Structures are given as C-alpha cells and as structure tokens.
C-alpha cells in the first residue's frame, strides 16, 4: 500500500514539475530571447543598409565600425588620464624641488587643462541634466501642489502654462543665453556660462509635465481623505504632509518621469548650440570635423544617448515603484 501511494505521489508531481519548468522557459523566452532576437535582426538590417549608403564622408558606419570607434574613444580617454597623471606628478616634483631650495616658497597648484574626452562629456551631460531636473522639481512640485489645492490659483496660472508648455527648447535658449550673459558677470565664475545656459533651458522644459501632473494628482484626491483631514482639523502643512503628498505621489512621479525624458532630449540640442562640453557638443564637433571616422563616432554618441535615456527612465520607474503605494499604477 505504501509503494502504491509513493508511485501515485510521483505521478502527481510530474505534471507540476513540467508545468513549472514550462512556465520558467516561457518567461526566459519572453524576457531574454525575444529582445535578443530583436536586437540581432536590427543589427543585421543596419549592417546591410550601411553597406549600401555612401556619403561625402565615406560609407555609412555599420555595427563593426561603430564598435571599433567605441574602443578607440575609450583608449583616448585612458591616454588622456595618463597624461593628466603625468602632469600632476611632474608638478609635484617641481614643487618639492623648489621647496627644498626655498622653504618659504608658496606653491601654486595648476589644474590640468587637457581636452575633454568622450567619457568626460558623458559625465558633463549627466551633471547638467540632473541639475536642471532637480531645479525644475524644486519649483514645479510645490507650485503644482498649490495649484491643485486652490481652484482660483489654478484658473489664474493654467493659461500661462498652456501657452508656454509647447514652446521648443531651441526658442528658449537664445533668451536664456542673453539673460545669463547680462546677469552672470563674475570675473571668477564658479561654473561656465555654457553649463548654466544648458541647465536653465532643461529646467524650463521640465517644469510643465511636473506642474501639470502634480496639480492633477492633488486635485483628484478622494473626498473621503479630504473629509478625514477636516474631521481631524489638520493644519495646512500637516494636511499636505499627511494627506496630499501620499495620495498624489503616483501622479507626481509620472510627471517626474516624463520630465526626465524630456530633459535628456532637450539637453542634447541645447548643448549643440550652447557649446556646453557634453554629448551634444561632441556630436556637433564630430559633424564639423568631417573626418572619415566622424560618422561612426556620431553613431557611438547616438547609441550612448539612447542607452543613458533608457537607464534614466528605468531608474525613475524603479524609484516610483519603491515610493508609490499604487504598485499597479506604475506603467513600465
């Protein structure tokens, strides 16, 4: 009897094991193999199309040429860092020798002024976009909360938002440049004007999605929650802290996610015109350079821009899922 029971249990477990295995294979296929196949097909189409396109700078770069230039840009970065290290070592030796002769000598430390590498320009672009985004969030979220809580303020501000919301970043940039040039006149500036021009342009274009989504989230809070706040007689700040912010977090993060995507797209165009030493300037300089490797290097920048944009979006999505109570509302 015991043997029969064991056999029956084994027979019962087989379908369960096979079903779980089938499910895991299906999930792996959907999450890994299908995207990999899509990328592979894209690379094949790209390689085939590139071989048939001739430009004034030579043949359009295929995947292999772009990969080669990616390695070349990394090697250039390493070479530049070695030059920087050697520069500071020489400077340190000169200072030590001078101090040995004259103990009262006050050394002057000079900063290395070598050229910006591709990796340096990626870092500059990230700093610029995040600075503009944070500044926009500091302005837009409190403003959106105030608009959502006050119908009169909403009626007053809404026309202004609707007018400026569709304005292109390229229209803002000349105005920002003139204002920064007039106001920021320090003889020893903390940051470059080109950085400020790009950052403020990014901020202006990030404001509107955050303001609109925050105000919509605040104004659509359930009336039961508002009534609870009234019953408890919460002060205005406590009402915002305990009721408004938790209830509107999903919409606030939706606006922030949209704004970050807009910010990254706007930044590249702004850097091209403002000459902020980031990825936009890299693309423009390579286009102006017109060497045989320029197109491949521009394609490297295009791929990096897209990949960083994807990572920024995924990061914001994960942060939204972590903070938000509405897990189902975080659309991937």
Dump pLDDT digits (tens) for 124-173. Answer: 999 999 999 999 999 999 999 999 988 999 999 999 999 988 888 788 88
pLDDT in tens, 197-223: 999 999 999 999 999 999 999 988 888
Proportion of the chain above pLDDT 90, given as a percent: 47
Q: How many helices (DSSP H) and strands (DSSP E) are in the chain?
A: 12, 2
Q: DSSP assignment of 294-324, as one string? A: HHHHHHHHHHHHHHHHHHHHHHHHHHHHHH-
pLDDT at 330: 57
Average pLDDT, integer, range 38-67: 90
pLDDT tens figures, 269-288: 889 888 888 999 999 999 98
254 forms bridges with which residues in the sheet? none
**Is the predicted pLDDT of residue 119 greater than 90, yes or no?**
yes
Q: How confident is the model at residue 17 (pLDDT cuts 50, 70, 90)?
A: low
Q: Which CATH number describes the domain made up of 118-327?
A: 1.10.3720.10
CB proximity list for 107: less than 8 A, separation 6 or greater:
95, 98, 99
Distance CA 150, CA 145 (A): 9
Closest CA to 217 of 206, 205, 225, 228: 225
- Compute φ and ψ for 52, nearest 5 degrees: -105, 0
Q: What residues are paired with 59 via a beta bridge?
A: 54
Mean pLDDT to the nearest integer, 310-325: 87
Average predicted confidence (pLDDT) for the chain: 86
CA 126, CA 271: separation in Å to the nearest integer? Answer: 12
Question: 0.85 cut: is pTM over it?
Answer: no
Q: Tell me how far apart the alpha carbons of residues 70 and 82 are, in angstroms, rounded to a whole number.
A: 19
pLDDT exceeds 70 at position 8 = no
CA distance 100 to 149: 69
Neighbours of 112 (CB within 10 A): 13
Q: What is the share, in percent, of the chain residues with pLDDT greater than 70?
A: 91
Torsion of CA 62, 66, 67, 68, to 10 degrees: 110
Cα gap 287→155, rounded to integer Å:
47
């Amino acid at each position: 009897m015991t043997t029969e029971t064991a056999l029956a249990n084994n027979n019962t477990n087989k379908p369960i094991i096979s079903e779980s295995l089938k499910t895991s294979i299906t999930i792996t296929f959907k999450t890994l193999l299908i995207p990999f196949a899509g990328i592979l097909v894209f690379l094949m189409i790209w390689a085939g199309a590139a071989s048939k396109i001739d430009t004034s700078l030579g043949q359009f770069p295929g995947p292999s040429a772009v990969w080669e230039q990616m390695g070349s840009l990394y090697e250039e970065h390493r070479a530049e860092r070695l030059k920087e290290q050697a520069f500071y070592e020489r400077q340190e030796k000169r200072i030590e020798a001078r101090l040995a002769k004259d103990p009262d000598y006050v050394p002057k430390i000079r900063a290395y002024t070598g050229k910006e590498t591709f990796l340096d320009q990626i870092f500059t672009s990230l700093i610029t976009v995040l600075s503009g985004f944070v500044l926009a969030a500091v302005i837009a979220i409190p403003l959106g909360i105030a608009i959502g809580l006050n119908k009169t303020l909403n009626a007053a501000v809404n026309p202004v938002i609707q007018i400026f919301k569709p304005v292109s970043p390229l229209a803002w940039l000349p105005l920002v440049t003139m204002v920064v040039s007039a106001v920021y006149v320090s003889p020893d500036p903390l940051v470059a004007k080109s950085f400020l021009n790009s950052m403020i342009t990014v901020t202006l274009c990030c404001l509107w999605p955050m303001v609109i989504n925050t105000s919509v989230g605040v104004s659509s809070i359930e009336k039961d929650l508002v009534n609870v706040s009234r019953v408890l007689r919460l002060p205005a700040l406590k009402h915002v802290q305990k009721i408004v912010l938790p209830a509107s977090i999903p919409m606030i993060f939706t606006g922030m996610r949209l704004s970050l995507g807009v910010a990254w797209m706007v930044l590249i165009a702004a850097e091209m015109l403002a000459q902020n030493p980031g990825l936009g300037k890299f693309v423009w300089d390579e286009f102006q350079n017109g060497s045989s490797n320029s197109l491949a290097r521009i394609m490297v920048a295009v791929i990096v821009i897209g990949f960083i944009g994807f990572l920024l979006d995924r990061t914001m999505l994960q942060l939204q899922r972590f903070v938000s109570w509405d897990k189902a509302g975080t659309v991937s």
